[in-house]
Structure 1
Amino acid sequence: MASKAGDDPDSLMSLCTIFCLKNLRRTMCYSEGEQNRLQLRPDVFLPGEICDRLVNEYMDLVHTDSDFEPQDGFFQLFSDPRSTRLTRLQLREDLVRDRDLEAIGKQDLMELHLTYCSRLTARGLRTLCSFRHSLLSLSLFGCSSVFFRKSGAPLAAGEDEDEEERLQRHTVDLDFSFQGFNRLRLLNLGGLRAELDVEKLLRPLPALTSLDLSSVHLPRPAFLTQWSERLASLVLYNVELTEELIHMLLQMSRLRHLDISRENQRTSKFKMTRKILSSIVQSLVDLVSLDISGHIMLDNCTVPAFEDAVGRPSIEPCKSSIYPFQELKRPLQFLGLYNTTLCNVTHIPAYKVLSFEPILRLLPQSSAPVSQHWATWALYNLVSVYCEYFTVKPSHQIRFHPKIMSFSV
């Protein structure tokens, strides 16, 4: 009888992919020359879905399977678009080198997500330009090193250098811009270093609809208004808010998703007010999700306690316990209130609410995450799945409304 994994097409595909990756020379590759270099068999043609899965699964195995040995020249297997097709890749950490991007430079990538690839240099940035005619989505989260070149050395130098050593002697690559990335709709530059002029870097992006500038220094935020009629999603997590930045946000009339949350209240000089929240609600009428987690409220935004306690929990804006949200035309799909004074009220006009800071105390110190922001999201997903399939006992002190999910301990 077939196993459960074998009955599921996705699981079967995953098993086959892992087997091929662990047995490359016995399946689709052969060795060539004295250096035992990997080569794709001449009779092998791999469509885009298979190639994407092979590369993404390879990255997972390298980071999660201690018995799996990285293959030198693996990306070279996908250098010829006549026999392999790559469209959507997610690469991460210091495994990825400039030569790996160069190996796939002839592919027509539509999505490329690079995360904390500290070994990439300005040489790799030059390779990114070869994808500009096809890229729809690009993430360079934590990859600031690609915008720098080593001082007094050619671009090819420094790939194997330690990151700290490299960044001690660097200059900004002033030659690069996103000129020509005319199809790019989603861009993530989270963690961009302060030395980089984000305004100059971003200017020529006519199709942009989603932008993530988490932890990016924005001294002159007014330039973002060039996308006021296009931008649907803007993430400014851990960005220091100012009056000028708030004024700019209020002009982004097409925004549907806005994240201005912070990881830590103590690092912020900005104080959220009832007036600012009201302005956001009044100006951004298309909003379906809003995250203001981690902000200190300067004044009281909530109804008196005796009013808050009246009736069953409701998501109707007119009954909201938070005054500014009474002006919403409809409940939000998501509202982030984690680590704010607004998270303990009864009536919150959103289908999903992120507000359960006390759960983080259950995490052992030895495995505490670097960022509570991401831990909160992970816990939210975990609890959502748990509550969908299991009965929550009253002793858990997790309270659920018909359409609201709110957490407290």
Structure 2
Amino acid sequence: MYQSGNPRVQIKYRHKEERSPESLFCLCLKYVARNLDIVCKDTPAGYTLHEGLALPSEICEPFIEAYQNNGGEIFDCFAHLFEDVTKTNLRSVNIRNSSITDDGLEYLLRHDLEELILTNCQNLSHKTYINIFKHAVNLRSLTIGPNVQITPYNKLSNCSLTLDDVPIIIHRKAPNLKHLVLRAIAESPFSSDNIFLGVMLDKLLQLRVLDLSYCLGVGSLRYLCKLNSLHTLILFDVPHLQDSSDAILNICTLTSLVVLDISQTESYPEQGVYKDENKTLALIVKCLPNLMSLDISGTNLAGKGTAEQSLCESFSDKKSDIPGLESRVDNPLEFLGLYHTMHNACRRHDIPAKIISGDANEYQIFNAAASCMDKPKLLQNILNDLYHLLRYDQCTQIDQALDIVLEALTRYVKEKLIQISGSATLFYIVKNKDRPLLLNDVTVKRRIITTLLTGMDFHNYDETMMRNGCLTLCQLRIPQDVMFEFKRLVQMLLHIVSTSDHEGFVQRIGIYLLNSVACQVNNKQKNELGDAGAIKKMMAIIKDRLHRRVCDDVLEVAWSTMWNVTDEAPTNCKRFLDGNGMKYFIGCLTTFPDKNELMRNMMGLLGNVAEVKELRPRLMQSHFIKVFSDLLFSSQDGIEVSYNAAGVIAHLASDGYKAWIIKNPPRCKVLDRMTKAIQNWNLDADRNINYRSFEPILQLAQVRHTPQCAHWAAWALANLTKVYPEKYCSIVIGEGGLRIMHELLEEDAQIDQNSEPGVIHSLAQTVINQCMIFMKNTVEASSQLDHTAVIINAGMR
């Protein structure tokens, strides 16, 4: 006797210890899938291989899979890549969630495929059905899944085939067909059963596997009795099985059956309720002696749990808590599907099966997921079960749960409810920081991110999906973990911040993620952010908040994002000015004058703009200069607003007297105010700022015609090297700052003529002293490490 949900015999996914790094081949496939121009060019007819290239089946098939797994959709233009059968070679094709048409699929069918799987391809018609059997000489396996309406007599297709055409096409054109999946085939409009299915099955006597899930018309099952070689029969959600004794009797004639699935979805309570459930189940197992896998999920066939030995012809001393299975007590099934069976059958003790699917524990849920991966209606419920296990920390096999969720999300991109349930479950998996799985396995993290972004792309107007996705991304390292999907991530985040509810949580988390990405990427990627519309989107948010007179964290982060995106990115600085950025700056300054964080972010951004020489004339306007001058003595956010205002003025003044084309306020008065402001700053002040380079500051330190420029630059470097020596001394040294500081010392008398005597000299000396101390400590630390290494090596000898 076997206990319910024995963990030793569960259906297994890849475990953590079985995972290995991605091969170079897989990495290359991913790269090419995201950069198709490497292997092909886009022509009016579609993608075409570059001259001299050929792709064997060992590359073609995994390439198509990699393309889909990384968010690509198989459409006609892509399918054209495989038009030339002398340069490409396909044996197996699996197309899902595709907009491909009959003409596009024809390019793939020309390869005389051995296996074809079509799922959720709604633009195909009965023309494809004809084309399939024009090229079916090698066809061994054919899957026509849900939302693929190509078969004759389907209510949703206008078909010109006659009934007499069907057996000729199937029997003569596909002599090797052994595996046939026809899901969701509608009834014939001419009768109560499906004539097409009946005639088709009447000729496919060589079938080993037959899946008629969701098909209507149990009358067609009378043709099953001719399939003497049938190994597997799937009748999931076929209606009215419980109402037709002939249907069960027809199934019982298939004595060769090893796998039988007559499960139902519990959302249809009238389905799956058999009148004599115990006798029906006993009849099935008695008539099918080779049966080893049976799925009766969602039905009442497991009975109420009372053993009724009278059902069995041969009595046994052992009992079964599923009455209809008493005859299998000594010959237990390899698998028994009991997910959401009536009367909680999966929770019973004595069940004659080695592997059980159900919802009694995590092992049963894993088994249910494995057996229901082709059943999206049940799979959604299973993902909800996993969600509750993970949310309340009751799941011990996190890696196995992850495999299930990723497989479901990848397979059912268009199923919104599965995407929502799966992404919510994924959040709790990624959030589990006690497991080293996600922290160390780059391959796993990348698969999570790609799968998540693909689902978000497809359901990008669903707030719940966007929320789940963003929350999950927040659990990862931003931007390090997501850089391989940088463009897709940026496009998604920009979509979120521009379309989500103005006061909603999704917009807030989206803009925080975008800012996190912007503040840590390189200049090339900052320009890509600008190309993607980051400045324009932030401007739209600022315009909205100004119109509604609302200063919230979204407004502040919008300015912070532009501050980060414009750092050492002149093109983005120009985009800011071209987009009426100064108008929004003045608007926020006057509307929200007391918001410290907002003011700091705005002035930091203007500091970036002022660093671009060709843009500085656009700031040289009286009302702008007056604002900057007034802000020199601002105490908002410590010294940051005053510091950035002085930085802007220093850059404007560095262009010389002639560049100061305005009369008011006068240049000399503004510079005097700047000097007094700098003298009021505390050199030991902690800073809320981050520099990656001192190049613009060092340029100001070399300005001789306006000493105030060097004064501000020297103060900035002295403060940063004194308060954060470990972080900033190396930058000063690496960028030649010590030489520039020594030059300031040598020219001190001339430079300090318009400032307090010795001030710039003192600041430059501070920078030099801090860097010398840093270098001395670094050398001593290095020597100490070398000395320790010698001792260790000596001890080892």
| Counterpart residue type for residue 274 of structure 1 | N
1:192 aligned residue: 185
Is the alpha carbon distance of 1:127 and 1:236 closer, same or farther for their aligned partners in structure 2, counting shifts above 3 Å? same
TM-score calculated relative to the size of structure 2: 0.39
What is residue 236 of structure 1 aligned with on the other side? 235
Q: Which residue of 1 aligns with 2:34?
A: 22
Q: Secondary structure at the match of 1:52?
A: helix
Specify the alignment match of 1:309 in structure 2.
none
Matched, 1:373 2:378: yes
**Residue aligning to 2:288:** 284
**1:289 Cα deviation after fit:** 0.7
Q: Following TM superposition, by how much is the alpha carbon of 1:17 offset from its aligned partner in structure 2, in angstroms?
A: 1.0
3-state secondary structure, aligned to 2:137: coil
Instruction: Write the mapping of 1:2-401 to structure 2, written as runs, cut at 5 A.
Output: 8=20, 10-25=22-37, 27-32=38-43, 35=44, 37-61=46-70, 65=71, 73-147=77-151, 167=156, 170-171=158-159, 173-174=161-162, 175-177=165-167, 178-180=170-172, 181-195=174-188, 196-197=194-195, 198-217=197-216, 218-227=218-227, 229-239=228-238, 240-241=240-241, 242-264=244-266, 266-268=269-271, 270-271=273-274, 273-297=277-301, 300-303=304-307, 318-328=318-328, 329-340=330-341, 341=343, 342-356=345-359, 371-375=376-380, 387=396
Matched residue of 1:338: which SS? coil
- Cα deviation for residue 103 of structure 1 reads 1.1
Change (3 A) 1:122 1:42: same
**CA-to-aligned-CA distance 1:154-188 (integer Å, 9 cap, x gap):** xxxxxxxxxxxx94x83463344422211111111
Q: SS state of the match for residue 145, structure 1?
A: coil
Separation in 2, partners of 1:139, 1:378? 25
Distance 1:92 1:390 in 2: 26
Residue aligned with 1:293, SS: coil
Aligned-partner Cα distance in 2 for 1:50–1:118: 27
Do the aligned partners of 2:144 and 2:181 also contact (CA within 8 Å) in 1? yes
Letter in 2 for 1:215: Y
Q: Is the 8 A contact 1:235 1:258 kept in 2?
A: yes
Contact 1:90 1:113 survives alignment (8 Å): yes
User: What RMSD in Å do the two structures reach over aligned CA positions?
Assistant: 3.5
Q: Deviations over 1:210-241 (max 9, x none)?
A: 000111122242111110x2001000011121
What is the aligned partner in structure 1 of residue 745 from structure 2?
A: none
1:138 deviates by: 0.6
DSSP-derived class of the 2:297 partner: coil
**Which SS does the other structure have where 2:116 is aligned?**
strand
Paired amino acid for 2:109:
G
Give yes or no for contact 2:280–2:301 (8 Å, CA) kept in 1: no
Name the SS of the counterpart of 2:150 in structure 1. Answer: helix
Residues 223-266 of structure 1 show CA distances to partners (whole Å, capped at 9, x for unaligned) of 11110x20010000111212001111111101010000100251
Shift of the alpha carbon at 1:108?
A: 2.5
Q: Is the CA contact (8 Å cut-off) linking 2:68 and 2:74 kept in structure 1?
A: no
- Change in CA separation of 1:31 and 1:234 when aligned onto 2, cut-off 3 Å: closer
Partners of 1:106 and 1:281 in 2: CA distance: 44
Corresponding residue for residue 4 of structure 1 = none
The alpha carbon displacement at 1:371 in A equals 4.4
Structure 2 distance, partners of 1:390, 1:30, is 40
Shift of 1:333: 1.4
User: Which shows bigger deviation, 129-138 or 290-299?
Assistant: 290-299
Please give the alpha-carbon distance, in whole angstroms, between the structure 2 residues aligned to 1:182 and 1:322: 42
Deviation at 1:297, TM superposition (A): 4.9
The amino acid of 2:246's aligned partner reads E
Whole-angstrom distance in 1 between the partners of 2:25 and 2:236: 36
Paired residue type of 1:132:
A
CA distance in 1, matches of 2:85, 2:104: 15
Deviation, 1:128, is 0.5
Q: Is the partner of 1:50 in helix, strand or coil?
A: helix
Distance of 1:184 and 1:381 partners within structure 2: 37
* Structure 1 stretch displaced more, 262-271 or 233-242: 262-271
1-side partners of 2:220 and 2:331: how far apart? 33
Count of aligned positions: 340
Assess if the C-alpha contact under 8 Å between 1:120 and 1:143 holds in 2.
no
For residue 102 of structure 1, report the CA deviation from its aligned partner.
Answer: 1.0
Deviates more, 1:52-61 or 1:252-261: 52-61
Question: Secondary structure of 2:93's match?
Answer: strand
- In structure 2, relative to structure 1, the CA distance for the partners of 1:23 and 1:113 (3 Å cut) is same
CA distance in 2, matches of 1:301, 1:287: 22
Cα 1:29–1:300 shift into 2, 3 Å: closer
Residues 297, 226 of structure 1: alpha-carbon distance in 2 compared, 3 angstrom cutoff: closer
Give how far 1:133 is off: 0.6
Residue type of the partner of 2:185? L
The separation in 2 between residues aligned to 1:71 and 1:253, in whole angstroms, is 43
| Alignment partners' CA distance in 1, 2:90 and 2:55 | 9
Secondary structure of the 1:179 match is: helix
Structure 1 residue 206: Cα displacement: 3.1
Q: C-alpha displacement at 1:322, in angstroms?
A: 1.9
Q: CA separation in 2, counterparts of 1:390 and 1:45?
A: 38
What's the CA shift for 1:8? 4.9
Q: Which structure would you say has the larger RCO, counting Cα contacts within 8 Å and 6 or more residues apart?
A: 1
Q: Distance in 1 between matches of 2:327 and 2:73?
A: 57
Stretches of structure 1 lacking an aligned partner (at least 5 in a row): 1-6, 151-165, 305-315, 362-369, 392-409
Q: CA deviation at 1:208?
A: 0.6
Q: 1: CA distance between counterparts of 2:96 and 2:187?
A: 22
For residues 298 and 321 of structure 1, what CA distance do their matches in structure 2 show? 8
CA contact (8 A) 1:318 1:327 kept: no
SS of the equivalent of 1:91 reads: strand
Q: Secondary structure at the match of 1:282?
A: helix
Change (3 A) 1:72 1:275: closer
Opposite residue 102 of structure 2, the aligned amino acid is D
Residues 121 and 148 in structure 1, CA contact (< 8 A), matched pair in contact too: no
Contact 2:297 2:340 in 1 (8 A): yes
The percentage of counterpart residues that share the same residue type is: 27
The aligned amino acid for 2:171 is Q
Structure 2: which 5+ residue stretches go unaligned? 1-18, 189-193, 309-315, 366-374, 390-394, 401-797
Does structure 2 conserve the Cα–Cα contact (< 8 Å) formed by 1:332 and 1:350?
yes
Of Structure 1 and Structure 2, the greater strand share is in 1
